[in-house]
């Protein structure tokens, strides 16, 4: 799961029939995120009604597809061609000031 901020929306005149009526949001992840491609954002389907400027939790892969298809327990539901799904709109985040903010990946810019 990824914590990020909604920075925009994508409109598509033609799309998969299973995505009709669903918003596609552009999400900028907070903190370190190591995508397979060198990009600073991702596109996620939004079934919860998030908007620009809101922080959200994004689920990647199969669990997100299953929720959009009708639930995790429905093995026979058709799966949609989706890699990321907005699962929640974040009201508040509390970080422990003693906890490290980086869990891996490259060091911050300017760090020795």
pLDDT 10s digits, 85-100:
999 999 998 878 887 6
Q: What local confidence, expressed as pLDDT, does residue 78 receive?
A: 65
Q: What does the pLDDT read at residue 43?
A: 93
Q: Taking a C-beta distance cutoff of 8 angstroms, is the pair 65, 59 a contact?
A: no
Boundaries of every domain in the chain? 2-89
Structure tokens at 103: 């869990």
**pLDDT value for 34:** 64
| pLDDT confidence tier of residue 106, bands split at 50, 70 and 90 | low
Place 112 in a pLDDT band, splitting at 50, 70 and 90. Answer: very low
Question: Could you tell me which of 15, 19, 70, 69 has the C-alpha nearest to residue 46?
Answer: 19
Mention every residue, 6+ apart, whose C-beta is less than 8 A from residue 63: 72, 85
- Condensed to tens digits (0 to 9), the pLDDT of residues 71-81 reads 555 555 567 78
**Does residue 9 register a pLDDT over 60?**
yes
Q: Where are the alpha helices (DSSP H) in the chain?
A: 62-68
Task: Say what percent of the chain tops pLDDT 90.
Answer: 36
Question: Between the CA of residue 96 and those of 82, 88, 100, 106, 108, what are the distances in Å?
Answer: 33, 21, 9, 22, 19
The CATH superfamily assigned to 2-89 is EutN/Ccml (2.40.50.220)
Is residue 10 pLDDT above 80, yes or no? yes
């Amino acid at each position: 799961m990824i914590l990020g901020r909604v920075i925009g929306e994508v409109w598509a005149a033609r799309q998969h029939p299973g995505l009709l009526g669903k918003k596609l949001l552009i999400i900028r992840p907070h903190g370190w995120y190591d995508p397979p491609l060198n990009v600073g954002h991702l596109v996620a389907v939004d079934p919860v009604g998030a908007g620009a400027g809101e922080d959200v939790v994004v689920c990647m892969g199969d669990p997100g597809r299953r929720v959009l298809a009708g639930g995790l327990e429905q093995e026979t539901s058709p799966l949609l061609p989706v890699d990321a799904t907005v699962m929640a709109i974040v009201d508040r985040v509390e970080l422990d000031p003693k906890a490290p903010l980086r869990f891996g990946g490259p060091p911050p810019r300017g760090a020795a």
